[in-house]
Amino acid sequence: MGKVIGKSVNRKDGVEKVTGAARYVDDMKFPNLLHAKVLRSPYAHARILEVDTSRAEALPGVKAVITGRCFPNITGLYIGDRTVLAQEKVRYVGDPVAAVAAETPEVAEQAVELIEVEYEELPGLFNPCEAMQEDAPLIHENINQYNHADFIDPVPDSNISNHFKLRKGDVEAAFAEADYIFEDEYQTPMVQHVPIETHSTIARYNLDGKLKIWASAQSPDALRELLGVIFNKPLNQIQVETVPIGGGFGGKAGLTPETPIAICLSSLVRERPVKLTYSRQEEFHCATVRPGIYANYKTGVKEDGDIVAQEIEYIWDAGAYNDYAVNVTKTGGYSCSGPYEIPNVKADSYCVYTNHPVSGAYRGFGMCEVHWGIEQHLDSIAEELGLSPLEIRLKNALQDGSLTVTSEVMQDVAYSECLEVTAEQIELEKEEESTSPTKLRGKGIAGAYKGPSTPPNASSSALIQILADGSINLIITATEMGQGTYTSLAQIAAETLGVAIDDINVSTPNTDYTPHDWQTVGSRTVFSTGNAVVRAAEDAREQLFDYAAEDLGVEAADLDIEEGIIFDTTEPANEDKRVPISKYALGLQYADGSGRGGQVIGRGIYMPEGITNLDEYGQGKTVNHWTFGCHGAEVEVDTETGQVEVLKMTTTFDLGKVINPQLAEGQLEGGLVQGYGTAILEELIIEEGEVLNNSFVDYKIPTAMDIPEIKSNMLETALEEGPYGARGIGEPAMIPAAPAIANAVYDAIGVRIKELPITPEKILQALAEKESKG
Amino acid sequence: MINNFEYFKPSQVKDVASLLKAYADNIKVLAGGTDLLVAMQEGDLAPDYIVDIKGLTDIDRIKYDKENQILRLGAATSLNDIAASKVVQKHWPLLAEAAQTVGSYQLRNRATIGGNLCNSSPAADTLAPLVALEAEVEMVGLEGSRIMKVKDFLVGPGQNRLSTGEIVTELRLPKPSGAVKGRYIKHSRRKAVDLATVGVAVIAEEGDLGYRFKVALGAVAPTPIRAYQAEKILNESELNEDIIDKAVQAAGEAIFPITDLRASKDYRLKMVKVQLRRAIEKVIDSWE
């Protein structure tokens, strides 16, 4: 264990969050603030014939009204398919059509109601399996003209925004040699992230043309870059500040519409900041959601459980705009078979436009969706072959030297250990007595793997400034949204520098001052930004040692720092050669009053090496590291009500190195609970494009009362590339929860629920079908 | 978004009644506000006037009237106060149990029994118990007061017998003559902060002829309803599994559930039967 790393130090943002002193975007006050409100489409798919804003503009207190025509530039993270407001068409119920900024929220809302829009309704496409057909009407007529990242492949003249193709080995030959072939279908619906803080932004268009933005945004730099495209501005004319974020989970990554809308409004009333905060209702259906999936598996196995071939089709219901979802579906594609070694794989992952809410990143980034099927399919196969869930997984698990579906060679993999620890802890083989004759008990496990899902060249940077008194500012653009980033990165900085954790202050991201970080997504921050922080700290140490070496007459190589004191490692007790870092913080000073150098500013940058885009067959190494883990669940199913009580869950993940045990446990438990929510409760109920349950009345997430007893296990198989060996953990902890619960439900009642969520009515129906079949 | 409104907080019932009479459809009564303010926020209601009844004497008091052997619950008594009340817990445990299941702790600090009644949702957790307990409601208007059974007060979803110019001031519960066992089972999607998909209230009161059952069901008809036929079967026969079966079947025939986002009609029908059986069995277990 290090001096700071591996310790559960207090959160850097603990006091302000616990006391309520933290100021989120919506808490910010300005004397001349304007309030924005958005007019949204009531139709899932329609042509906009006319927008009349004259009555809204005439309303006293209204300062700006905008429509789609005002800002035609197209943008998007991986495929440019969005404009600030809908232009000629609306593509989902909730698509922004016009917006108003007014002196009060009340006036803004009244004004929005005065805007008249004439639509011509078009037939909607609500099922991606139909929308992807060749003869389906196009949701994006201009798909052929859209700019996109080089690893994204839209299918011309179709609703398929990305077709990811993977071909490994010879699937046909392998199926011919398989002893058994199993086929299965699974589905998951769209779900919401449900952050405590809804999307919120304040934008001010200054008189000199500079933009100032305070946003609840996960990715200040990505946001700035995409805004640059929309507003034709140099990036140094756009300043994005991200104050504390009240939960993101991927839904506040990339470019979300509220910020460009607020900027457009402010541009008409320059110098007046405009605030746009989503209502909870808007949050449910107008903020990004997790895409739905239709997953089809065909798997060839040998008698002994060895999987020899797999053919997979993933069809994603990605909604109206897919600028982010295209990469979700690509990640789902290149991780298609889960954490198993299968020599022959054919996979097609289709990202499909539908007239549903906009989907994108959501904790797990495609992995929750694909593991839902993979991990249940595996249990079905095991049962047919007379193997236990643990046996079939161990038989096929990725391990050191294995080839993934993209033929990447694995190393430092402890997936099998995760499986074994979990199975042992929940006593997978032991049957438990149920509490009542109408209830059935069951246990299940499910595994998972995930990489950070970033483009290969996603980079991070960090600056470390040592101040005159030896206290330190760590300057980064990674955002704090509850996950503990400021704390874990401060621990990495303190450990590397050789100072106390309390000596480190962590900056709030502000793109005018803090250095580039690609995005705070993909469980990449401890790994990627952490590596940059290590390098920045090492750089600062070198500068300190350069001054100290001259000052103390000691070789730089012999110097070290502990508790903020530089000392000579060859004679550590020599008080004359023990100096606080503050002495050199602003450079070296000589006896005559002169000096050398200046402030110690450590600079660290990091970009993963040795990874590239995949080839046309989806082969190669494109993931900088993988995280592996396993969940176990014990459930009791009430056969009369269909209700599932999750009694206990075990989570085991290989974290590489635990930077802060308490924060890591928080991630494991939080991920598990979010997965539990999607397993048992959560689903956007959408009818003809309209979300029917866009409130907490009918969209339920788990409460403290629902959460099972959770045991967390953290393994530490060091990742060579990771800072102190650490791997990402934020998302992976969610992935196997739902399939583990489903497998436990199957163990209890002998019926498989293949479509999330596992509702009481589905259970009763499945039990009735089972009974009627005898 | 809540529009501006004028706010009154009188200390006399007659002043409340005058305001209600004067502004009729344009005024709303504020007790806890947990239904009213949400409806205003969502634009379903936009009254120009609000009259807060929390200034009325004893409007939030729980009092046991020894002389008449009735429990008097002021209309603005919070659900947490009812759940925590020793006297309610002792003689009307069913009501204490049901009050505890409404929303969250924070919400129950605001939400009132009178508000739950006047909002008149068929799924309201306190209403099936009040119907089973044969509670009465006191309504006061300019012309004086009147008393009505809760069962008769409720007319349909959001509808009740209050006339323009009237407010509910008090709920009255007769003290059971003998030992009483009760059970409220709230069937919902999750364990806390949820609406009832189905609510089942069962009480058994000890009398000369043994225990007498009363059964009321929530969220399965336009109002909470008494399952008289089920009660009759339970009360006129020696209790055994077969009789409980018959009672449960009878209850199933007395209801008219609907399909909504929370459950299908078919599921509600099944759950009424499952939960009613469980509630009856629990009540029987508790007296044995």
Contact status, residue A154 vs residue A143, Cβ threshold 8 Å: yes
Cα B167 to Cα B20: distance, rounded to the nearest angstrom: 9
Q: What is the Cα–Cα distance from A734 to A449, expressed in whole angstroms? A: 11
Q: Beta partners for B145?
A: B140
∠ Cα A728 A729 A732 (to 5°): 115
- Positive or negative, the CA dihedral A64, A66, A71, A77 is positive
B156 burial via Cβ count (<10 Å: 0-12, 13-18, 19+): exposed
In the three-class reduction of DSSP (H, G, I as helix; E, B as strand; rest coil), residue A128 is classed as helix
Domains of chain A (ranges; CATH) run: 18-122+196-247+252-286 (3.90.1170.50), 289-454+612-773 (3.30.365.10), 458-606 (3.30.365.10)
Among chain B residues, the shortest Cα distance to A759 is held by B189
Residue A322's DSSP bridge partners are none
pLDDT band at B3 (very low <50, low <70, confident <90, very high): confident
CB distance B261–A698 less than 8 Å?
A: yes
What is the C-alpha to C-alpha distance for residues A377 and A362, in angstroms, rounded to an integer?
A: 23
Q: Which of B216, B219, B214, B260 is nearest to B233 (CA)?
A: B214
Sort out which chain B residues have CB atoms less than 8 A from A105's CB and list them: 1
Q: What is the mean pLDDT of residues A736-758?
A: 98
Contact A764 B270 (CB under 8 A): yes
User: Distance between CA B195 and CA B202 in Å, rounded?
Assistant: 19
Q: What is the pLDDT of residues A118-146, one digit of tens each?
A: 999 999 999 999 999 999 999 999 999 99
Rounded to whole angstroms, how far apart are CA atoms A388 and A444? 10
Q: What's the one-letter identity of residue A715?
A: L
What confidence tier does A72 reach under pLDDT thresholds 50, 70, 90?
confident
Q: Which of B190, B192, B263 sits opposite A761 (nearest CB)?
A: B263
Residues making up chain B, counted from first to last: 288
Task: Cite the beta strand spans of A200-337 per DSSP E.
Answer: 200-205, 211-215, 238-241, 274-277, 289-290, 292-301, 307-317
B193 interaction partners in chain A (CB closer than 8 Å): 703
Average pLDDT, chain A: 97
Instruction: Please report the residues numbered 639 through 658 in chain A whose beta carbons come closer than 8 angstroms to any beta carbon of chain B.
Output: 640-642
User: Does any CB of chain A come closer than 8 Å to the CB of residue B271?
Assistant: yes
Residues of A in contact with B1 (CB under 8 A): 105-106, 109
Q: In this complex, is the C-beta atom of A687 within 8 Å of any C-beta atom belonging to chain B? A: no
Instruction: Identify all chain B residues contacting A700, using CB atoms and an 8 Å cutoff.
Output: 189-190, 194
Give the closest of A640, A705, A761 to B191, CB-based. Answer: A705
pLDDT 10s digits, B144-165: 999 999 999 999 999 999 999 9
Residue pair A22/A274 in contact by the 8 Å Cβ criterion: no
| Separation in Å, CA of B54 to nearest CA in chain A | 27
Task: Give the helix/strand (H/E) hosting A636.
Answer: strand A627-638
Q: How far apart are CA A125 and CA A1, in angstroms?
A: 55
Is the pLDDT confidence value at A1 over 60?
Answer: no
Q: Are A259 and A226 in contact (CB under 8 A)?
A: no
Calculate the average pLDDT of chain B. 95
- Torsional sign, CA A701, A705, A706, A710: positive
Instruction: Answer yes or no: is pLDDT of A447 > 70.
Output: yes
In chain A, which residues have their Cβ closer than 8 Å to the Cβ of B261? 685, 692-693, 698
ipTM: 0.95
- Say if B192 is an interface residue toward chain A (CB within 8 Å): yes
Residue of A nearest to B194 (CA): A697
Nearest C-alpha of chain A: how many angstroms from B190? 7
What mean pLDDT comes out for the span A29-40? 97
Please state the pTM of the whole predicted model: 0.97
A620 touches chain B (CB under 8 A): no
- Residues in Cβ contact with B264 at an 8 Å cutoff, skipping those fewer than 6 apart: A761
Q: B198, B222, B170: which is closest to B101 by C-alpha?
A: B198
Cα–Cα distance for residue pair B107/A46, rounded to 1 Å:
41
Give the closest residue to A253 by CA, choosing from A326, A371, A360, A345. Answer: A360
Angle between helices A760-773 and B265-287 (to 10 degrees): 90
Contact B192 A704 (CB under 8 A): yes
A468 in reach of chain B (CB within 8 A):
no
Residue B9 has pLDDT above 70, yes or no: yes
Question: Which pLDDT score, from 0 to 100, does residue A70 have?
Answer: 82
Specify the DSSP class assigned to residue A742.
Answer: H
Distance CA A337, CA A627 (A): 15
Q: Tokens 């289709």 identify what position?
A: A350
- The label of the residue with tokens 């905008």 reads A66
Half-sphere exposure of B250 (CA within 13 A, CB side): 17
Based on the number of CB atoms within 10 Å of its own CB, is A208 exposed (0-12), middle (13-18) or buried (19 or more)?
exposed
Contact (CB<8Å) B191/A106: no
pLDDT score for A685: 98
Among B residues 17-36, those touching chain A with beta carbons less than 8 Å apart: none
Contact flag B191-A706 (C-beta cutoff 8 Å) = yes
The residue among A636, A641, A682 with the most chain B CBs within 10 A of its CB, best to mutate, is A641
> A166, exposed or middle or buried, with CB in 10 Å at 0-12, 13-18, 19+?
buried
Q: Is A21 on the interface with B (CB under 8 A)?
A: no
Confidence of residue A58 (pLDDT cuts 50, 70, 90): very high
% of chain A exceeding 70 in pLDDT: 100
Q: Quote the pLDDT of residue A202.
A: 98
What residue ranges define each of the domains in chain B, with the CATH number in brackets? 6-52 (3.30.43), 62-174 (3.30.465.10), 180-287 (3.30.390.50)
Please give the residue of chain B at the shortest CA–CA distance from A106: B1
Contact B3/A at CB under 8 A: yes
Residues of B in contact with A684 (CB under 8 A): none
Q: Tell me if B274 and A641 make a contact (CB, 8 A cut-off).
A: yes
Instruction: Give the pLDDT confidence score for residue B1 in this predicted structure.
Output: 78
Tell me if chain B has a CB within 8 Å of the CB of A761. yes
**Are B267 and A761 in contact (CB < 8 Å)?**
yes
For residue A322, name the pLDDT band (cuts at 50, 70, 90). Answer: very high
CA end-to-end span of chain A: 58
Q: Is B286 helix (H, G, I), strand (E, B) or coil?
A: helix
Contact yes or no for A391/A354 (Cβ under 8 A):
no
Q: Which residue has the tokens 């009832």?
A: B196
A698 in contact with B, Cβ within 8 Å: yes
Closest CB from B187, B261, B264 relative to A692: B261
Closest B-chain CA to A281:
B42
3-state secondary structure A680-705: HCCCCCEECCEECCCCCCCCCCCCCC
Average pLDDT over residues A579-595: 97
Q: Which of A214-223, B5-14, B175-184 has the lowest mean pLDDT?
A: B175-184
Give A539's Cβ-side CA count (13 Å radius): 20
Type of residue at B167 = I
Residue type, A30: F
CA dihedral sign of residues A316, A322, A325, A331:
positive
Residue to substitute from A640, A701, A759, A767, interface B, most B β-carbons within 10 A: A640
The pLDDT of residue A81: 95
Span B217-253, pLDDT tens digits: 999 999 999 999 999 999 998 899 999 999 999 999 9
Query: Residue A700: which of B190, B264, B271 has the nearest Cβ?
Result: B190
Contacts of B88 (CB under 8 A, 6+ apart): B62, B71, B82, B95, B96, B99
Instruction: Give the whole-angstrom CA distance, residue B225 versus residue B124.
Output: 12
Q: At what angle do helices B241-253 and B265-287 cross, to 10 degrees?
A: 140
Tens-place pLDDT, residues A384-418: 999 999 999 999 999 999 999 999 999 999 999 99
